[in-house]
Structure 1
Amino acid sequence: MSTVLFVVTGARTWTLADGTEHPTGYWAEELLAPYDLLTEAGHDVAFATPGGVVPVADPGSLRDGDAEAIAAIDALRAPLVLADIDASAYDAVYYPGGHGPMQDLAVDADSAAVIAETVAAGRPLVAVCHGLAALLPVTTATAEPLVSGRRITAFTDEEERIGGLADRAPFLLESSLRTLGADVVVADPWSEHTVVDGTLITGQNPQSSASTARALIAALSEGEDARA
């Protein structure tokens, strides 16, 4: 079976345009649903964060039982240091969202290097919701934005408006990805929507967590069959 690296935000707040520190972290469903599906399918999961800090779930994302489920994941209490990661050691890399990635992974050079190496090697690179903020600083070997010309989805500007933070956000994710040349395909707010463009797999929102994970599991199975 395969080993999937979850790169998780280490941020606990998101600095809004007016300087307000908005409490955040990773979105619980976007970590737990893929973790459960991957491990149930027999795959191993490792975690890494900037600086190896223990990540926290966005308080607004926690549902009944989530805190207990998170506490049961031993590796999440001692994540790997992102700067020390050798991307070639993993069969795929996955980025959950929450507003946290808008604060740290959107500008993290170590994360960008992991993504660039993973994509260049043809291994699955997966991101959901605000996790796609980690794609913003990534460039190809020819110095083009990684997302340029790629068909993806992400948390939409409309969903940010409905959530009440669009007017105070330092940047909007969908708009930023479009500015870099991405072909951002969006569905209705809060509807399940996953896009597969080769080995780049993206999900629009928390509702897309499970379908995005299933697309990753399918990609890993295809990779294993090809190596057999």
Structure 2
Amino acid sequence: MINVLMILTSATVWTQKDGRQRPSGFWAEEFIAPHQHFSGAGARITIATPGGLPAVVDALSLSPEANHGDTAKVEGFARYLEGCAQALRAPMRIEDVVVADHDVVFVPGGHGPMQDLAVNPSVGRVLTTALAAPFKVVAAVCHGQAAFLAAGDAQGWAFKGRRMTAFTNDEETQVGLAANAPWLLEDRLRDAGARFEQGGAWQPHVVVDGNLVTGQNPLAAGAVAREVMALASRIAA
């Protein structure tokens, strides 16, 4: 059985450049699509957050407007989250995670990770340890890659030189959030030394670099999960 650790943000706000607190959390589709795929493939899933605090969904990600007006999709998301409610209310503390117990480390996005995961030393420890082990898989989607920034610095960053994608400056601009963002994820990853690869805006772009799998935006969440399980299964074999 493949053991998957899903690291979720426990942030409920994202501090803007002007000091305002924008409601945030994890993005529904980026958690649900992978969780469904991992569960369907028979994986054992552990959810962890900083301090073991509850993981809260970004309400915007459950709006029809954020899902192309598809109310049936939104209702399905809501039902799925209800089934995960206990695990989301009482996750494991990331500080207590033993990396050896997990085959996959997966970070869903939403703007929440830019608030807490990007600066959490325990998140950095888990990601650094897992990435250095060729028999483990590290993956993230959209703004989940903000967690990578906790894995060292520009002089000793664990992900330096690795190929990856993430939510782009163009996409952040198109959703109207770039101007008041304290920093942009694409810029930070490039500056830290990532080999950033950008697909078309709002396309399900996925990059696989060894044991690292990344997706550009919510539309890539399912594809990333499939790549992760295929890679983890090959490694396990």
TM-score by length of 1: 0.95
1:161 partner amino acid: T
Deviation at 1:143, TM superposition (A): 5.2
* Greater mean deviation of Cα atoms: 131-140 or 7-16: 131-140
Q: Unpaired runs of 5+ in structure 2?
A: 63-73
2:209 partner amino acid: D
Deviation at 1:25, TM superposition (A): 0.2
Is residue 99–residue 130 contact of structure 2 (8 Å, CA) maintained in 1? yes
**2:139 is equivalent to residue 126 of structure 1:** yes
1:206 partner amino acid: P
1:133 partner amino acid: A
The equivalent residue for 1:36 is: 36
**2:82 is equivalent to residue 92 of structure 1:** no
**2:16 is equivalent to residue 4 of structure 1:** no
Q: CA RMSD in A?
A: 1.3
Is residue 56–residue 88 contact of structure 2 (8 Å, CA) maintained in 1? no
**2:180 is equivalent to residue 194 of structure 1:** no
Distance 1:136 1:224 in 2: 28
Q: Find runs of 4+ consecutive structure 1 residues off by over 4 angstroms.
A: none
Is residue 26–residue 98 contact of structure 1 (8 Å, CA) maintained in 2? yes
Q: 1:143 to 1:178 in 2, by over 3 A?
A: closer
Deviation at 1:75, TM superposition (A): 2.1
The equivalent residue for 1:136 is: 149
Distance 1:218 1:143 in 2: 33
* Greater mean deviation of Cα atoms: 164-173 or 56-65: 56-65
Distance 1:170 1:87 in 2: 31
Pairs aligned (count):
224
Post-superposition Cα deviations, 1:57-111, rounded to whole Å, max 9, x if no partner, equal: 1111112221221110242232001111111110110000000000000100000
Q: Within 5 A, what are the aligned runs for 1:79-228?
A: 79-122=91-134, 123-139=136-152, 144-225=156-237
Q: Secondary structure at the match of 1:168?
A: coil
The equivalent residue for 2:83 is: 72
* Greater mean deviation of Cα atoms: 44-53 or 60-69: 60-69
Q: Secondary structure at the match of 1:37?
A: helix
Q: Secondary structure at the match of 1:136?
A: helix
Q: Secondary structure at the match of 1:17?
A: coil
